Amino acid sequence: MTESSLLRELGQVSNAEVGEVFREFLRGSIVKMACEVMAAEVAELCGPKHAPSDCRTYRAGSAAGRILVEGERESVTRPRVRERQEAGGSREVELISYAAANDPEQLEKAVIQALMSGVSTRQMSVVKPKSPGVSRSSVSRLWQEAGTRLIDELRSRDLSGHTWCILMLDGIRLSSDQTAVVALGIDSEGCKHVLDFALGSSENAVVSNELLARLARRGFTCSQRLLAVLDGSDVLRKAVKEHFPDSVIQRCLVHKERNIRGKLSKRHTGELARLFRRLRSVQGYTAAQEVVGELEAFLEPLNAEAFKSLHEAGEDLLALHRLEVPNTLHRSLLSTNAIENSFLNTRRRLGRVTRFRADTDQASRWLSYALLEAEKGFHRISGHKELPKLIAALAREHAATPTKPPSGPVPSPTAPATARAPSL
């Protein structure tokens, strides 16, 4: 179809058919271009047509063939080329252009995208009737191969090339018997990175230590103390302290507010939210202590369990305030919202999966895909320009850490010698 015939065709169809006419025109243009490229390659291999040549390769007619256009088959007439052998006879020469036009990568991407968008393996042949290899078994094998590559892509990334300063850990429940602990790192530029995950029945010590040990092997280190933002899990806190003994642990204030809210009646939740908003916005440790005092005064006469929950976090509640960093960093670092937002996007992509088989790597494949897709939408954290001050504060904390006193009795200072009184 030429451009003039395209314009005539568009003038004779309804608006609803315009899109299909354009797509047909584009497919025809791609097929024509592919044939021209194959003809050019044949001319390069065999020389000009109808001209004698001493080349070992020669034209051998043509045959019916197919190429992939947007993941769908299109019929073409492919030229054939053969090469003379020294021992006699000849062999078929595969055209590079024809192989490229049949590259399955574009089909794989289209099938995987459809699968991730909610199309079942049974319906793939209905969605892409002209595409090869879209049977249920073929799509399943394709997803297994693609998912395995995604796991390798996530876990093979070298982490030593970044200057890390913040680590966030949280768990996401995949099924009744599978939970993933996910690690998200923030570098000195404020960029967020999905680091890794580990699967288990719960957020237990084995899973947490496996995850952190793998991060360490891949080069996750920091020259200053690490700031770890956690949701309040004792297991995660213990694992972080085991691998980063001098780390600063910040308790997620959103989780803490949520825990306290669950113990109060609805008429008191407004005041609780107001006080926690103040706590997240105030500058410095002294101002934060004042807000905590107001929270204590508010909760103590209302509910003993809520008052106890406030103090359960201990020093981790105001760890970031204690560092005296600008409060522009509070929005990003006083909660695990950065990783929770990743979980929100992950759940959207995993919503159609009703059962994860623990005896396969199915959960790892789906989770790798969902986390890598969520990472594509990451932005730098709020207040990232103030991160050098946070790193400096963590370094000062590291320098101010008291050394362990020597074992054994401490020798008393030597007393100055005194003159003996003369005997009488």
Show me where the domains of the chain are located.
3-102, 107-151, 161-394
The yes-or-no verdict on residue 11 having pLDDT over 70 is no
Residue 165: per-residue pLDDT: 94
Arithmetic mean of pLDDT over the chain:
81
The yes-or-no verdict on residue 330 having pLDDT over 90 is yes
Q: Which residue has the higher pLDDT, 267 or 47?
A: 267
d(CA 363, CA 175) in angstroms, rounded, equals: 10
Tokens 């990568």 -> residue: 105
Mean pLDDT computed over 232-236: 89
% of the chain beyond a pLDDT of 70: 77
Q: Which residue has the higher pLDDT, 100 or 234?
A: 234
User: pLDDT by residue (tens digit) across 339-396?
Assistant: 888 888 777 777 667 677 777 888 888 888 888 888 888 999 999 999 999 999 998 5
* Ordered strands of the 164-175 beta sheet: 192-200, 178-187, 164-175, 227-230, 248-251
Residue 191: per-residue pLDDT: 94
Out of 86-100, 172-186, 234-248, 292-306, pick the least confident.
86-100
User: In which band, very low, low, confident or very high, does the pLDDT at 409 lie, cut at 50, 70 and 90?
Assistant: very low
Q: pTM here?
A: 0.69
Residue 418: per-residue pLDDT: 40
Residue 414: per-residue pLDDT: 40
Yes or no: say if 340 and 168 are a contact pair by the CB < 8 Å rule. no
d(CA 325, CA 240) in angstroms, rounded, equals: 22
| Rg of the chain on CA atoms, in Å | 33
